[in-house]
Chains A and B, each alone.
Chain A
Amino acid sequence: MKKFIKWILSGWMVILFFIGFFLFWEYSIIFFDVPKYILPPPSQIFVKGSADLDKLIYYTGITALETVLGFTIAIVLGLGFGIAISFSSILRRTLYPFFVSIEMTPKIAFAPLFISWFGFGLLPKVIIVVLVCFFPIVLNAILAFNSLSNELTLFYQSTGASRIKTFFKIRLPAALPQCFVGFKYAGINATVGATIAEFIGSDKGLGFYISIVTGNMRPDLAFAGIFFLTCLGLSVFAFVTIMEKILMPWHISMKRLNKQ
């Protein structure tokens, strides 16, 4: 509780800014006489959104499921391939350049194909989220597991420790910070992937909701959907950040942030 109050106190400028932002939005719409079907004021978004709350919550759950499933699978696959590529010179000369070149194509371009192959259900969305998240995770993991300092390599060699032991006691913890760079980037992409996949073909989820209500000239409800999407994205990012803190309380860059 004390912490919460402290947090509010230290964050008062941001909070004030948000309040100011919404007030500006609310009153400039009245002032400039903007039609509500173009840009609704926040108060209307809130009122109309509340009326549709059940649906919004249900759809948030659907999109969250796609996001979380895809993100989790991408982490497992990304770390697995990342470690395999880091430790195998054959994979490093075959799979790695292949991944790097695929990284250049916008993965979301595959979305219509997956929908046409796998239908309107959960599967194509999860696949698209996996695809969007996988590459930043795998490429950062490869970087992470290949950048052990020369000294630490010599150090563990001089102890005669087994490969498994050095992996868990040195290589893995040393690689974590860079791996989390990938997780964070992927976490941001995850909701984007799920939403676009839903735009293209689905019958539920926040992306579906936003595209339908926009078609019905209801920007107020679209904004309500966007609000829930933002909350979902923030939750995913917060989860990754909290995991980072739990797994790496020592991480220097975070310590520096804490001090500021």
Chain B
Amino acid sequence: MTTANELTCQELIELVTEYLEGTLSPTERARFDAHLGTCAGCRTWLEQMRRTIRTLGKLTEESIPPESKQELLQLFRNWKKVS
């Protein structure tokens, strides 16, 4: 039986970002943790979100195209000349 005070799964997943950002109030955080302790589905969900974030953090290996770099360095040289 779910009491009014308990978080439901559907509510929990909307609080994940606030949980990870550390912006939940202590009371909300306690409710969040209490639910996690008893719900494997929500633990999996949270882990999926963490993994999503980790993967996003590894996307940025793209480096500046050489042509753009040359062009912008030229811009710098021109600026130097007039300044």
Chains A and B are bound partners? no
